[in-house]
Amino acid sequence: MNKVDLRSDTITLPTKEMLDAIAGAELGDDVFQEDPTVNQLEDLAATKFNKEAALFVPSGTMANLVAVLSHCQRGDEVILGDQAHTFLYEAGGISAFGGVHSRQIPNQEDGTLLLEDIKKSIRKEDVHFPPTRLICLENTHNRCLGMPLSVDYTNSVTEIAKINSLSVHVDGARIFNAAVSLGVSVTELTENIDSVSFCLSKGLSAPAGSMLCGTKDFIEIARRNRKALGGGMRQAGVLAAAGLVALEKMTDRIIDDHKNARTLAEGISNINGISINLDRVKTNIIYFSLDHPKVDSALLLEEMAGKNIHFFELGPSWFRLVTHAGVSEGDVDDVVGEFERILS
Ligand SMILES: Cc1ncc(COP(=O)(O)O)c(C=O)c1O
């Protein structure tokens, strides 16, 4: 059987068009801002998000780190969700390298932070407290069932930020999934926020790279921070060439990943032992839990791996399946068939 890798959309491989673009890319030294392909990608990203400027960085993790370092000084505080990727999965970089204090508030199941919680977490001016400087959101929210945050919700947060002179950064690793799911543009989703990062290397299938978008002044600071972190790549146009194809050609196909996720979720929803909230399947990420009289987590994963189907258990008996360009409709049917076989 075909390998069906549902562990993450980060495993997507570059398309033939990307490989051709890489081979033909015009190159220069990007630390001197002389790589025409990187410059073109940065211009395109800024235009697509209607921001003044953009910066190409090696990864989503570095994009978020650079963003936080560029908004905050050492000793400042950032408000973010307790399920945020930046809090859980980025090696604590914002505190390790930036000396930035994190204030985690509970993420709701839909990926939001309660507005009341945000308001209550903003520090008063007091010598005892780290000054609150930034609020971080994540859209779509990876740990919170891949849920998209709406334009209205995002604007409610930016409104609070504005009143309190704070900035807002959105970890938009999968912001195109959010836009497709909500039927809005990425510009609408990010209109009032100060900075947004997004990944070229997930649903958009580029081999590496993320973008950070914001004002010209912000991106100037971010460029210095990227250099300080060792993220100034010289002939980075080899990667940016694939990123251009990703941004120009791959955003429209994300809807297929959402359709496949829905088919997969519906297909397994009635299988003995599986619990899944279909109302919360909005993008390319599905979570389900397992409670079966004969099959435990280890056995399920082993049986599936035996059929070359791979996915992660992210908590006890709690699993994640991610659809992407490497997963076809036929693969989805095969996976549902295997769940039925193992759990019936
Ligand atoms: C929401 C979110 N933000 C950031 C990242 C980090 O991206 P990268 O793996 O490119 O560092 C990920 C990676 O999966 C993610 O899911």
pLDDT of residue 2: 85
Pocket flag, ligand 1, residue 138 (CB < 6 Å): yes
- 90 CA from centroid of ligand 1 (Å): 8
Residues 222, 212 contacting (CB under 8 angstroms): yes
For residue 58, which atom of ligand 1 is closest to its CA? 10
Pocket flag, ligand 1, residue 10 (CB < 6 Å): yes
DSSP secondary-structure letter at 253?
A: G
Report the alpha-carbon distance of residue 313 to residue 337 in Å, rounded. Answer: 20
Report the alpha-carbon distance of residue 319 to residue 333 in Å, rounded. Answer: 18
Q: What is the pLDDT of residues 48-94, one digit of tens each?
A: 999 999 999 999 999 999 999 999 999 999 999 999 999 999 999 99
Pocket flag, ligand 1, residue 9 (CB < 6 Å): no
Pocket flag, ligand 1, residue 173 (CB < 6 Å): yes
**Choice from 86, 139, 195, 199 to test ligand 1 binding pocket (greatest atom count within 8 A of CB):** 199
Residue type (1 letter), 126? D
pLDDT of residue 1: 72
Percentage helix, strand, coil for the chain under 3-state DSSP, each rounded to 5:
45, 20, 40
pLDDT of residue 300: 98
Q: What is the pLDDT of residues 274-321, one digit of tens each?
A: 999 999 999 999 999 999 999 999 999 999 999 999 999 999 999 999
- Residues of the chain below pLDDT 70: none
Cα angle 49-52-56, degrees, rounded to a multiple of 5 = 70
Pocket flag, ligand 1, residue 151 (CB < 6 Å): no
Atom 8, ligand 1: which residue's CA is nearest?
Answer: 60
Pocket flag, ligand 1, residue 142 (CB < 6 Å): yes
Report the alpha-carbon distance of residue 226 to residue 243 in Å, rounded. Answer: 18
Atom 13, ligand 1: which residue's CA is nearest?
Answer: 60
Residue type (1 letter), 304? M
- 10 CA from centroid of ligand 1 (Å): 8
Residues 21, 40 contacting (CB under 8 angstroms): no
Pocket flag, ligand 1, residue 59 (CB < 6 Å): yes
- 85 CA from centroid of ligand 1 (Å): 7
Report the alpha-carbon distance of residue 331 to residue 132 in Å, rounded. Answer: 47
Report the alpha-carbon distance of residue 59 to residue 149 in Å, rounded. Answer: 22
The model's pTM is 0.97
For residue 140, which atom of ligand 1 is closest to its CA? 1
pLDDT of residue 197: 98
Atom 14, ligand 1: which residue's CA is nearest?
Answer: 10
pLDDT of residue 320: 98
Pocket flag, ligand 1, residue 85 (CB < 6 Å): yes
